[in-house]
Amino acid sequence: MPVKFIAEVSSNHARDLPRAKRFIAAAAQAGCDAVKFQLFKIDEMFAPEILERSAEHRARKNWELPVEFLPELKKACGEHGLEFSCTPFYLRAVAELEPYVDFFKIASYELLWTDLLREAGSTGKPIILSTGMATMPEIRHALEALENVGARDITLLHCVSAYPAPVQECNLASIETIRTATGLPVGWSDHTRSPAVIERAVHRWGSVAIEFHLDLDGNGEEYKSGHCWLPSEIAPVIERIRVGEHADGRYLKAPTEAELADRLWRADPSDGLRPFRQVREEWVRERARSGSR
């Protein structure tokens, strides 16, 4: 099954609709399958005690995605052949997103919020759930909340919620641990900006999806943290993985079309010489015909 690549715009759109649309075009050109935004309101994300004392957190109000962008973003994704997704960070956001998203993404920081899980799961839309910072009991509890309201199409993402995530702390082997424990498809949510990590997650650990943070030009709000890829960086990674997917083929072991012409040029079992006797005999006959002309 092809790996699903999801470009996470985060807050790098700068509340600029044309810029947000350029993200969609860039993700499509890079070879992605989906683009994901985030729908949050700072006043409903952080406790008032934090906002009162932290100007840095209050300033993130400038990162909020305007709800009125949603129809245009959905339309732009359709024009580029991409799925549109968005992460809800407040309960009402689920209803605001439902008419537009192809799937819901639940962030690692919200994995413990059962009410949000139930709200998203009850829509019947596919759910992708990041598991950064979580333990297996916490993951099982989140899955129970989703499944109890009818969610069935669920994908989990192993994630290290550090920005950027140190390569030596990626613990990609957890992908197999989560898959074995839950029986669900598992992918990798990347914060490393390391091609080697993404390719290892796919080729060694069988990640079915790769989510990564994207910026267009290094001017996005979150780029300076060091976890956002540029289109020119991620495109060759996706291309290498796509090329590898073309090589997978079928489980049937049989000669391929490219091999057929050489089958008769194998060593003949009777004497170990190449090609088969029937080819040699044809060559002898062809020589005799040429000599008689």
Q: Which of 34, 35, 38 is nearest to 11 (CA)?
A: 38
Q: Phi first, then psi: give them for residue 57, nearest 5 degrees.
A: -70, -40
pLDDT in tens, 31-64: 999 999 999 999 999 999 999 999 999 999 999 9
CA–CA gap between residue 43 and residue 40 (Å, rounded)? 9
Mean pLDDT of 261-267: 96
Structural tokens at position 1: 């099954």
**Cβ proximity of 179 and 185 under 8 Å:** yes
pLDDT of residue 292: 64
CA–CA gap between residue 158 and residue 187 (Å, rounded)? 6
Judge whether residue 150 has pLDDT over 80.
yes
CA–CA gap between residue 253 and residue 231 (Å, rounded)? 38
The whole-chain average pLDDT of the chain stands at: 96
CA–CA gap between residue 171 and residue 273 (Å, rounded)? 52
Structural tokens at position 201: 């997650």
pLDDT of residue 290: 83
Q: How many helices (H) and strands (E) does the chain have?
A: 11, 9
pLDDT of residue 114: 98
pLDDT in tens, 231-241: 999 999 999 99
N-to-C CA span, the chain: 58
**Cβ proximity of 62 and 40 under 8 Å:** no
pLDDT of residue 15: 96
Mean pLDDT of 177-196: 98
DSSP reduced 3-state for 270: coil
pLDDT in tens, 109-130: 999 999 999 999 999 999 999 9
**Cβ proximity of 7 and 23 under 8 Å:** yes
Amino acid letter, residue 151: A
CA angle 38, 42, 48 (to 5 degrees): 150
Structural tokens at position 55: 């100007």
CA–CA gap between residue 13 and residue 8 (Å, rounded)? 11
Query: Exposure of 161 by Cβ count < 10 A (0-12 exposed, 13-18 middle, 19+ buried)?
Result: middle
pLDDT in tens, 88-102: 999 999 999 999 999
pLDDT of residue 91: 98
DSSP 64: P
CATH architecture of 4-246: Alpha-Beta Barrel (3.20)
pLDDT of residue 293: 60
Q: Phi first, then psi: give them for residue 190, nearest 5 degrees.
A: -95, 135
Task: Indicate the domain borders of the chain.
Answer: 4-246, 257-291
**CA dihedral of residues 147, 148, 151, 157 (deg, nearest 10):** -40
